[in-house]
């Protein structure tokens, strides 16, 4: 599963929620899709989309089957939302925000670690990895990325020679 967003608020009195997402495009969600809500660390509950409306490219108003009261919807606020990798396969390769949790491997150094966060600078995306007990910011440039394996949650990179030597 890929973390795609978060429930940030309720919407109305009928159990709808406002979900922010990081897919970068509002066309990926469809009726009857299953969104997995992380109720506790590592514990996911499936919710079936009965209706939704894209507010913009970063936000949806979502109604779920069997959720028709604002009191029930309030329990979802602040929870992370995950979807099956196949659902976002076309978007995942283009959106670094969806790569949080992917392992990063350099073809020369080997496993660098798991991407804990990503941030955008004016010129590029950077991925935060803990390598040799130090925080490392990896440039997520297309010329360094050799392969993105969505199902395995893995990114193979060929970083510039000497980049990781600073952290050894």
* Residue 22 and residue 66 in one domain: yes
Report the CATH number that the domain containing residue 163 is assigned in CATH: 2.30.30.240
* Residue 87 and residue 100 in one domain: no
| Whole-Å CA distances, 5 to 8, 24, 35, 92, 109 | 9, 11, 10, 13, 32
Domain count, the chain: 2
* Residue 106 and residue 152 in one domain: yes
* Residue 8 and residue 85 in one domain: yes
Q: What pLDDT, on the 0 to 100 scale, is given for residue 62? A: 93
CB 87 within 8 A of CB 34: no
* Residue 10 and residue 83 in one domain: yes
- Domain stops at, among 65, 91, 117: 91
| pTM passes above 0.85 | no
- The residue whose two tokens read 């599963």 is 1
* Residue 85 and residue 108 in one domain: no
Report the CATH number that the domain containing residue 80 is assigned in CATH: 2.40.30.60
- Domain stops at, among 76, 91, 106: 91
Q: What pLDDT, on the 0 to 100 scale, is given for residue 115? A: 92
CB 11 within 8 A of CB 61: yes
**Vertex 114 angle, CA 154 and 8, to 5°:** 100
Q: What pLDDT, on the 0 to 100 scale, is given for residue 167? A: 59
Per-10-residue mean pLDDT for the chain, 168 residues long?
88 90 77 89 90 88 90 92 77 75 91 89 88 88 90 90 69
* Residue 87 and residue 101 in one domain: no
* Residue 17 and residue 75 in one domain: yes
* Residue 40 and residue 87 in one domain: yes
Q: What pLDDT, on the 0 to 100 scale, is given for residue 11? A: 92
Strands (E) across the chain are located at 2-11, 16-21, 34-40, 43-56, 59-64, 80-83, 103-106, 110-120, 125-131, 134-139, 145-149, 154-157
- The residue range of the domain holding 147 is 96-167
């Amino acid at each position: 599963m890929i973390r795609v967003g978060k429930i940030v608020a309720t919407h109305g009195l009928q159990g709808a929620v406002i979900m922010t997402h990081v897919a970068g495009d509002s066309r990926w969600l469809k009726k009857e899709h299953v969104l997995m809500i992380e109720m506790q660390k590592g514990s996911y509950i499936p919710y079936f989309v009965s209706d939704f409306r894209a507010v913009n490219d970063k936000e949806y108003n979502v109604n779920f089957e069997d959720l028709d009261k604002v009191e029930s919807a309030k329990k979802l606020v602040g929870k992370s939302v995950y979807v099956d990798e196949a659902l976002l396969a076309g978007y995942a390769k283009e959106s670094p925000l969806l790569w949080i949790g992917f392992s990063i491997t350099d073809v020369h150094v080997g496993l660098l670690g798991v991407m804990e966060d990503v941030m955008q600078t004016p010129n590029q995306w950077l991925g935060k990895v803990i390598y040799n007990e130090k925080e490392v910011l990896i440039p997520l440039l297309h010329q360094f990325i050799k392969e993105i394996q969505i199902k395995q949650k893995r990114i193979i990179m060929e970083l510039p020679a000497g980049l990781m030597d600073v952290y050894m």
